Structure 1
Amino acid sequence: MFPIAFHPIYQHPLPEGHRFPMLKYELIPQQLIHEGIAKASDFFEPTVCDLKHVLAVHKQEYVDDLLNLTLNPKAARKIGFPLSKELVQRELIIAQGTITGAQKSFETKVSFNIAGGTHHAYSTHGEAFCLLNDQAIAAQFLLDNNLARKILIVDLDVHQGNGTAEIFQNNPNVFTFSTHGKTNYPFRKETSDLDIAFDDGTNDDKFLKTIGDIIPKLIETEKPDFIFYLAGVDILASDKLGKLGCSIEGCKKRDELVFELCNKHQIPVQVSMGGGYSPDIKIILEAHANTFRVAKDIF
């Protein structure tokens, strides 16, 4: 089976009004074990990330302000969560979960972080509930430790990976690819190495044909030896924060496409689950569980 990062602190470090979107972090492991997709032994609890790995992508002043809870009010408002030591610790644990998972992927082919996908975190600030960019931190870790030479970040969340694009804008060893809703947040987009902005209501056929044409070409031209995949399920038509029109089955086929390519080319992949904000928690859970089901079938 594949390793899955999970820590109880993912569940309830937030005020009551913010807890519904976080409920999935508790329910996904239960569902995977219930179905037999994973065993308890497949889950690992990450520790707090070493700050030297965080500082490889985030600026010292910003990290200090997080740790000391001294962000100015404007910067804190951009994050959206009330800042607390528990929240900062949560982000450090999530980042380590993605690093450790990436290391494990070299043996297991694929790894997961139940949380993660904090792609709105820039080098100098946080945005939209993202404080630290877990996949950016892990990507730089692999490069700095000579575990990978060329990394492809495949971000298929409904929101552009603006923080990831900014962090790696001058790094030729990381290729950033983001698909997203054209009119979705962030309203001022950054420039990834490749961006595909979909119109409102884009359906399965258009979405799947587009990524089915592009990702194989990226693998051929960029020749990555590691892939980070952000598998947000906020591309669903039911998502209250997204504006695309994909179905649960289309979302599953998206995951199949990515995993089949990774398996075919023998490229290890780390998966962070990213967003999912449908009003019905059962829809969120089903769509995320599909990503694990597909991985079990393919790897």
Structure 2
Amino acid sequence: MEKYELLPEQLLYEGTVTEDNFFSPDLLSESEILAVHKKDYWDKLKNLTLSRKEERRTGFPLSAALVERERIINQGTIDAANYALQYGVAMNIAGGTHHAFTDRGEGFCLLNDIAIAAQYLLRTAKAKKILVVDLDVHQGNGTAEIFQDNPYVFTFSMHGKSNYPMHKETSDLDIELEDKTDDKTYLDLLRKTLPRLIDEQEPDFIFFQSGVDVLATDKLGRLGMSIAGCKERDKIVFEHCYNNEIPVVVSMGGGYSKKIAHIIEAHANTYRLAQDIYF
């Protein structure tokens, strides 16, 4: 998508980041993939043998280049997790593949970057309890399925009730939002919920899915939030992570407003806030 090229250009142009702030991930290993995804599914991906039905479900025409791109994106979230342990916060500009299940891809997601990075942290004992804060307008259904029986990962998804996916999985906590939900309603819910989850779950690492498809201008979102409200949402998450000294990785997630400027401004706000709060 165009935003993946424009967003770094905007951040560099305005001086929010420098070239030194960027990193380029390598290719994710098969062992990391198989720690989350089933071997039969991964074999179909790497050998390009998904059925037409399975391919249509992903939303992509399957190709070797696409699978390689997914592996790089997912390694990027692992790399970001290591940077977050060092600096408190790190971002994957192309992450957020939360519709990928253990055994299938859906909704433009083939491999689940949040799940793969979370499993990496647990396996290497770099984290003991992880909280997933998924604030994309679409439910993190794949992440919920992957961690449904894992007591070390708590999945929280706050999403549109009437939006994709029509069949929702069961996260550890789901908050469903009505169409046209405005800033005040949304932010009041988040302010009430997030500190309680942090107190109850005592996570030592957080993954934040920060999709900007919550905007009223989004073609697919159906909510009623403003750019300012979306920025305040991100500020709430960052401040709770910072004040509680919990490292956080941000996966950028969706954004489909008709005007690309709205998408870039909302995503750029996430980076601006991280810079202001942490550095």
**1:170-189 to 2 correspondences below 5 Å:** 170-189=149-168
Aligned to 1:232: 211
After superposition, what is the alpha-carbon deviation per residue over 1:78-122, rounded to whole angstroms, capped at 9, x for unaligned?
A: 001100000000000000000001011111100000101000000
Q: 2 CA distance for matches of 1:251 and 1:155?
A: 13
Offset, 1:72: 1.0
Structure 1 position 297, deviation (Å): 1.0
Q: Does 1:153 align with 2:112?
A: no
Q: Which amino acid aligns with 2:254?
A: G
Matches within 5 A, 1:121-200: 121-200=100-179
**CA deviation vs aligned residue, 1:157-184 (integer Å, no higher than 9, x gap):** 0000000000000000000000000000
* Partner residue, 2:64: 85
SS in structure 2 of the partner of residue 44 of structure 1? coil
Distance in 2 (CA, whole Å) between partners of 1:24 and 1:64 is: 31
Q: Which runs of 4+ in 1 moved over 3 A?
A: none
Q: CA deviation at 1:73?
A: 1.1
Extract unaligned runs of 5+ from structure 2.
Answer: none
Q: What is the TM-score of this pair, normalised by structure 2? A: 0.99
Give the letter aligned to residue 236 of structure 1: L
Q: How many residues are paired up? A: 278
CA distance in 2, matches of 1:184, 1:242: 7
The answer to whether residue 262 in structure 2 is matched with residue 283 in structure 1 is yes
Identify which of 182, 185, 189 aligns with 1:210: 189
Q: Percent identical across equivalent pairs?
A: 60
User: What's 2:220 paired with?
Assistant: 241
Question: Distance between the aligned counterparts of 1:214 and 1:51, measured in 2?
Answer: 36
Q: Which residue of 2 aligns with 1:117?
A: 96
Secondary structure of the corresponding residue to residue 254 of structure 2: coil
- Please report the RMSD computed on the Cα atoms of aligned residues, expressed in angstroms: 0.4
What amino acid is the match of 1:43?
F
Paired residues for 1:2-81 under 5 Å: 22-81=1-60
CA distance in 1, matches of 2:9, 2:87: 22
Once residues 15 and 217 of structure 2 are traced to their aligned partners in structure 1, the CA distance between those partners, rounded to angstroms, is 27
